[in-house]
Amino acid sequence: MHKMVDEVGPLYQKIKKHILERIAGGDWAPGSRVPSENELVKLFGVSRMTTNRALRELTDEGVLVRVAGVGTFVAEVKAQSHPLEIHNIADEIRDRGHEYSARVLELEEVRAGTETANWMEMEKGSPVFHSRIVHFEQGRAIQLEDRFVNPEVVPGYMAQDFSRITPYEYLMSEAPLLKAEHVVRAVMPDESTRRYLEMSEDEPCLRVARRTWSNDRVVTIARLWHPGSRYELSGKFRP
């Protein structure tokens, strides 16, 4: 048993060193795909367990990003947001010393379909406000926000200029947040989302599904799409 540990240790470290050197040398730029486990097995003549450990540790260290069924990529220096808190994306971007801007794609009143009605806790076919907005950091798309809003709680939503004020800012002023829930997933975006976020064809998205309440009523549900190579959720939590 001890002999196996001694052999595996240097081998997986050798693979890590090889990957780090290729990244540092500029051979593999941020967002580039790195060799698969099978390719590394053939290249170094080692076991799949050894290559898996090397890739897993580099992923835990933030050097690589692994997406099941897609591949392993060189991580970029990413914008960060705390997963247990809700912040104004404009403030997040400005706090990093960067320029914030937004483009409103849609701002309309629609009828709630089955899924939206269930999430909003209202009858199917009820009127809801719908907005789609792309948020930019330094002129580069960082988030696509797809949001439904309860018009009975926030009747003035449609009259706002969301190229100047974010939905977060307006909603917090009109219906202060009392409760929220989040679901975070890594997903492959559809063609429309990929186009708005200026993403490559094989790049995954980080999607946050969020629902918020004020005075025991659902105010809004939102799906927030972020390019996987440009954004991460991070933070510390103390119960």
Contacts of 62 (CB under 8 A, 6+ apart): 75
Q: Report how far apart, in Å, the C-alpha atoms of 199 and of each of 31, 135, 184, 188, 231 are.
A: 10, 14, 19, 11, 12
Q: Give the pLDDT score at 80.
A: 41
Has residue 200 got a pLDDT over 50? yes
Class level of CATH domain 79-233: alpha beta
Whether residue 35 contacts residue 24, with contact meaning beta carbons closer than 8 Å, is answered with no
In this structure, CATH architecture of domain 2-74: Orthogonal Bundle (1.10)
215 pLDDT tier (thresholds 50, 70, 90):
confident
**pLDDT per residue over 131-157, tens digit each?**
999 999 999 999 999 999 999 999 999
Per the DSSP assignment, residues forming a β-bridge with 137 are: 100, 140
Sorting pLDDT into bands at 50, 70 and 90, what band is 231? Answer: low
Instruction: Give the amino acid at 44.
Output: F
Residue 83 has pLDDT above 50, yes or no: no
% of the chain exceeding 90 in pLDDT: 43
What confidence tier does 203 reach under pLDDT thresholds 50, 70, 90?
Answer: confident
* Interval 160-174 mean pLDDT: 93
Whether the pLDDT of residue 236 is over 50: the answer is no
User: pLDDT tens digit string along 11-68?
Assistant: 888 898 898 888 877 788 877 889 989 999 999 999 999 999 999 888 887 788 887 7
From-to residues of CATH 3.40.1410.10 in the chain: 79-233
Amino acid at 73: F
Residue from 222, 88, 214 nearest 152 by CA: 214
What value does the mean pLDDT of the chain take?
A: 84
Residue 199 CB partners (closer than 8 Å, separation 6+): 189, 193, 205, 227
- pLDDT of residue 198 exceeding 60, the answer is yes
Cα 169 from Cα 171, distance rounded (Å): 6
Give the three-state DSSP class for 185: strand
Banded pLDDT at 223 (limits 50, 70, 90): very high
For residue 18, give Cα distances in angstroms to 25, 38, 40, 41, 233: 11, 16, 10, 13, 28
1 pLDDT more than 80: no
- Please report where in the chains the tokens 């190229």 appear, as a residue: 163
Query: What confidence score (pLDDT) does residue 166 get?
Result: 96
Is 117 a residue whose pLDDT tops 60?
yes
The reported pLDDT for the residue numbered 85 is: 53
Strand partners, 146: 132, 223
